[in-house]
Structure 1
Amino acid sequence: MSDVSLSVSRQGSSKCSDGDGHLKRTVIGSGVLSLPWATAQLGWVAGPSLMILFAVLTCYTSTLLASCYQSSDPNTRRRNYTYMDVVKANLGGFQVKICGAIQYLNLFGVVVGCTNASSVSMMAIKKSNCFHSKGDNSPCRISGNPYMIGFGVIQIFFSQIMDFSRIWWLSIVAAVVSFIYSTIGLGFGIAIIAENGKIKGSLTGISIGIVTPMEKIWRSLQATGDIALAYSYSLILIEIQDTIKFAPSECETMKKSNLLSVVVTTIYYMFCGPFGYAAFGDLSPRNLLTVFGPYYPYWVIDIVNAAIVIHLVGAYQVYCQPLFAFVEKTALDWFPDCKFITEEIQVPIPGYKPFKRNLFQLVWRTIFVIITTILSIILPFFNDHIIRILGALGFWTLTVYFPVKMYIDQMKIPEWSTTWLSLQILSVACLISSIATAAGSVAGVIYDLKGYKPFKNVS
């Protein structure tokens, strides 16, 4: 997921609606804390080089996608509110279903990952306090399952809030805490380098001996995927663009926003990843802020991981809301006369207006949260590998393939022209990269399954 945190509102005819009556949206992103690990697998040359490469690639393909926001018919210039709407307007047919399946599967993976990641941060808080009271050599074995269940209970409550996009403070809080914990991670990386008195790491990354040659290959592929996915925000780009005001132009404004966001993000990545690697070298952790021992004061561990949990609570809701809307709209289209789907119940709240919700939304959203929580408990390695597999599929299709194909269709670029060939070569190269990343992640799943025990998530 992209690490750009956005909170954008359309300036239109009302506080809650844009110029054509469509609801406003707010969007947030998530952390950069695995980039030192990714840099450690690739080394000083390949790591930063890939960050720059994927920055340029993402900025370019995002510009192509932004150009497809409006339909190509010059008489209508109809705006498209979602990624599926864009594909439907430009390509149509079975490709719309493919786009929707990949987009919603990735959204589902993200919210499962939020549950998993939240437990890691909550366990880090518990372990830091355990080490503080019992000493750094204490085992302090902690199960993550209760924390995942607690996170799920919180999400069941938040998921029932109607028109969640109107709660403007969520994006502000999430953006602030994201900036705080990322900056603290960067600051401690710099502090550790100063304390060590030297820069760790090598040109080629983690050394053979610490890992086997085959592990080196798989880890390098996984690291490439981590960097690619850190820039991959096409999943929600159209939804972001739909928050931009009409004048001067959604497309032009989005293109400028893409460029600014990617430049700022890349500068931040180039600090966080390499500085973390310089501090820890081959032993760079997957999460920079779950490192214990003499590196961080215990209270800092508590603060930054609490900030991460707060961010993940908001991120879960932002990414699950499109899924909720899609399922509820589809159910209403299929069963317009079903009272279970259409009729509302009112829950009185003292001092406030009654809370309204129909039973279908209440039951479906609760079941959804329960499913994501159970999957997180069953698959504790979900974040490390399964999200990479889903992300590799989504990266090529949503970040490269569809933007390229729709742009070719809109611009009427002739086959076998120089531009057409260049775009096709770009798409094929990214497909190969995505396949390689997925292969590395599959290898990681197989490795983790060797010691896998269901419902045994202990650290």
Structure 2
Amino acid sequence: MTRELEKKSMYIEQTPETAENGPSKNFDDDGRVKRTGTLVTASAHIITAVIGSGVLSLSWAIAQLGWVAGPAVLMAFSLITYFTSTLLADSYRSDHGTRNYTYMGVVRSHLGGLKVQLCGLAQYGNLIGVTIGYTITASISMVAVERSNCFHKHGHQAKCSISNYPFMIIFAAIQIILSQIPNFHELSWLSIVAAVMSFAYSSIGLGLSIAKVAGGGHARTSLTGVTVGVDVSGSEKVWRSFQAIGDIAFAYAYSTVLIEIQDTLKSPPPENKVMKKASFIGVSTTTIFYVLCGCVGYAAFGNKAPGNFLTGFGFYEPFWLIDFANVCIAIHLIGAYQVFAQPIFSFVERLCSQKWPENKFITTEHAINVPLFGTWYINLFRLVWRTIYVVLTAVIAMIFPFFNDFLGLIGAASFYPLTVYFPIEMHIAQSKIPKYSFTWIWLKILSWACLIVSLVAAAGSIQGLAHDVKTYKPFKTQ
């Protein structure tokens, strides 16, 4: 019975008995549950995390930046994300070979000090923000299904105003159930389903954009994007450009869960080699989709591109295909929510089990026989805490149901510290790169340049959020 519980829980630490007997078919050399992840599952996790709601806003982002800066910014973020992800993958094991199970653990191993707390604040703040953002986006996609049917029935000029709130509650109810999946290691099936869904709706959006361009309706585009004095004022152009950069940064955000994904990989082969391949597959695949969706979407809609090109009703027909695409988005975000929430769940549960190891409410796993599924283990603390978390994210999403500005702010706030600063600093420390050497200087230049980009993107998103708060009308779909 004890061994069965250990299999089901990621929070059981190494026991003396396990350490003495060494690794078995069920346990790794450090006494933890045997990892089963592969290149395929890691790539699925990455694609689920990366191809998210960010792809839906890329045609809008390209419209703000234009044909020159838009694709250039996309490619720049792609290259930077892949490069720093390889540095982060190499940091997974400490200098003496010990595994680090979390992003904070990696920073503690290589940098230590106050930077560990700063990393935790950035990572878990970002993860919370993403789960809130996905609650908003999923509800918008669910509403879009009803609005699509309404437009089809009553005409494109019908108001069809539908509240997001009931759909946020539905999404939260689904997440309460899925949140009882004990740990990241058992999420592979959900990530694979979510990855398939992301390809489906991205392909539909791309296909509809191509059809719109081929249909002959010429949309006004330009090398520099929206035109000052025609589409926007000068100040709006600046703020929107900053916000667009934040949206693109968000579209590549997966460094927050990279270490947790890498910790699912079985070894041999070495985890860092497999993770680098998975990162290449994930980032290159998503970049192709991003460039196609962003550029073809801009060609289709021009400077009037909607903030979300599937739910903003740049397309009305065929309505059934729009419905299917939005259902795919909702299913994908159901899985993506779990990919980003699981590190938060494990962090809190690990802290509580370490602080109160004798508390039966926190540590006891109750075996329940579920027909057709076999034995399932329920932990009462896990049930209560995860339910509270999901409810809180849903409530916050109801208070701030703004899409583009929220994505931009999350992207801006997390991109620099988690995707750039910590990977570069840990690489410098791990490789013992001499101060003021050529490599040290160009790594620092890259780091500072990304900091400036993050700051301007954050400023644009904050300004956009402030504007949304002033003009927001409750019970109307965003």
- Is TM (by shorter chain) over 0.5? yes
1:336 maps to 357
State the Cα distance separating 1:197 from its structure 2 match. 5.5
1:224 maps to 245
CA RMSD, 1 decimal: 2.2
Q: What is the DSSP-based 3-state SS (H/G/I as helix, E as strand, rest coil) of the residue aligned with 1:356?
A: strand
Q: What is the DSSP-based 3-state SS (H/G/I as helix, E as strand, rest coil) of the residue aligned with 1:290?
A: coil
- Preserved contact between residue 251 and residue 411 of structure 2 (Cα < 8 Å): no
State the Cα distance separating 1:411 from its structure 2 match. 1.1
- Preserved contact between residue 132 and residue 393 of structure 2 (Cα < 8 Å): yes
Distance, in Å, in 2 between the alignment partners of 1:430 and 1:458 is 34
Distance, in Å, in 2 between the alignment partners of 1:316 and 1:401 is 25
- Give the counterpart of 1:192 among 212, 215, 238: 212
**Mapping of residues 138-149 of structure 1, within 5 Å:** 138-149=158-169
**Where does structure 1 differ by over 6 angstroms across 4 or more consecutive aligned residues?**
none
**Mapping of residues 365-384 of structure 1, within 5 Å:** 365-381=386-402, 383-384=403-404
- Preserved contact between residue 118 and residue 151 of structure 1 (Cα < 8 Å): yes
Distance, in Å, in 2 between the alignment partners of 1:161 and 1:416 is 48
- Preserved contact between residue 152 and residue 316 of structure 2 (Cα < 8 Å): no
Distance 1:390 1:323, change over 3 A: same
Q: What is the DSSP-based 3-state SS (H/G/I as helix, E as strand, rest coil) of the residue aligned with 2:378?
A: strand
Distance 1:293 1:201, change over 3 A: closer
Distance, in Å, in 1 between the alignment partners of 2:29 and 2:297 is 45
- One-letter identity of the residue aligned with 2:132: V
- One-letter identity of the residue aligned with 2:160: C
Q: Give a deviation string over 1:38-87, Cα, whole Å, max 9, x none.
A: 10000000001111211221222222222212212xxx322222211111
Q: Give a deviation string over 1:91-125, Cα, whole Å, max 9, x none.
A: 11221111112111111111111111111001100
- Preserved contact between residue 185 and residue 264 of structure 2 (Cα < 8 Å): no
- One-letter identity of the residue aligned with 1:161: I
Q: What is the DSSP-based 3-state SS (H/G/I as helix, E as strand, rest coil) of the residue aligned with 1:279?
A: helix
1:57 maps to 80
- Preserved contact between residue 62 and residue 258 of structure 1 (Cα < 8 Å): yes
Distance, in Å, in 2 between the alignment partners of 1:393 and 1:198 is 37
- One-letter identity of the residue aligned with 1:88: R
1:91 maps to 111
2:10 maps to none
- Preserved contact between residue 380 and residue 457 of structure 1 (Cα < 8 Å): no
- Give the counterpart of 2:288 among 267, 278, 287: 267
Q: Give a deviation string over 1:344-393, Cα, whole Å, max 9, x none.
A: 44556456546432322221111111101101111111x32234323312
Confirm or deny that 1:317 pairs with 2:338: yes
Identity of aligned residues (%): 51
Distance 1:267 1:293, change over 3 A: closer
**TM-score normalised to structure 1 length:** 0.90
Confirm or deny that 1:169 pairs with 2:189: yes
Q: What is the DSSP-based 3-state SS (H/G/I as helix, E as strand, rest coil) of the residue aligned with 1:450?
A: helix
- One-letter identity of the residue aligned with 1:324: F
Confirm or deny that 1:301 pairs with 2:322: yes
Distance, in Å, in 1 between the alignment partners of 2:265 and 2:372 is 36
State the Cα distance separating 1:166 from its structure 2 match. 2.1
- Preserved contact between residue 260 and residue 343 of structure 2 (Cα < 8 Å): no
**Mapping of residues 10-409 of structure 1, within 5 Å:** 21-22=32-33, 23-24=35-36, 27=45, 28-29=48-49, 30-31=51-52, 32-72=55-95, 76-163=96-183, 165-196=185-216, 198=218, 200-208=220-228, 209-292=230-313, 295-345=316-366, 349-350=370-371, 353=374, 355-381=376-402, 383-409=403-429
Q: What is the DSSP-based 3-state SS (H/G/I as helix, E as strand, rest coil) of the residue aligned with 1:380?
A: coil
- Preserved contact between residue 239 and residue 464 of structure 2 (Cα < 8 Å): yes
Distance 1:417 1:198, change over 3 A: same
- One-letter identity of the residue aligned with 2:241: S
Distance, in Å, in 1 between the alignment partners of 2:221 and 2:311 is 20
Distance 1:371 1:190, change over 3 A: same
- Preserved contact between residue 213 and residue 299 of structure 2 (Cα < 8 Å): yes
Distance, in Å, in 1 between the alignment partners of 2:187 and 2:224 is 47
State the Cα distance separating 1:249 from its structure 2 match. 2.7
Q: Give a deviation string over 1:264-316, Cα, whole Å, max 9, x none.
A: 32222221111000000011111121243765311011111011111111111
- Preserved contact between residue 246 and residue 408 of structure 2 (Cα < 8 Å): yes
**TM-score normalised to structure 2 length:** 0.87
State the Cα distance separating 1:131 from its structure 2 match. 1.4
Q: What is the DSSP-based 3-state SS (H/G/I as helix, E as strand, rest coil) of the residue aligned with 1:205?
A: coil
Q: Give a deviation string over 1:221-248, Cα, whole Å, max 9, x none.
A: 1111112222232112222223334344
2:444 maps to 424
Distance, in Å, in 1 between the alignment partners of 2:154 and 2:211 is 26
- One-letter identity of the residue aligned with 1:296: E
Distance 1:265 1:161, change over 3 A: closer
Distance 1:154 1:262, change over 3 A: closer
Q: What is the DSSP-based 3-state SS (H/G/I as helix, E as strand, rest coil) of the residue aligned with 2:310?
A: helix
Q: Give a deviation string over 1:186-233, Cα, whole Å, max 9, x none.
A: 111111000026464100101122211111111101111112222232
- Preserved contact between residue 18 and residue 24 of structure 1 (Cα < 8 Å): no
- One-letter identity of the residue aligned with 2:431: M
State the Cα distance separating 1:250 from its structure 2 match. 2.3
Distance 1:391 1:247, change over 3 A: same
Distance 1:69 1:295, change over 3 A: same
Distance 1:59 1:358, change over 3 A: closer
Q: What is the DSSP-based 3-state SS (H/G/I as helix, E as strand, rest coil) of the residue aligned with 2:377?
A: strand
- Preserved contact between residue 200 and residue 277 of structure 1 (Cα < 8 Å): no
2:13 maps to none
Distance, in Å, in 1 between the alignment partners of 2:61 and 2:372 is 51
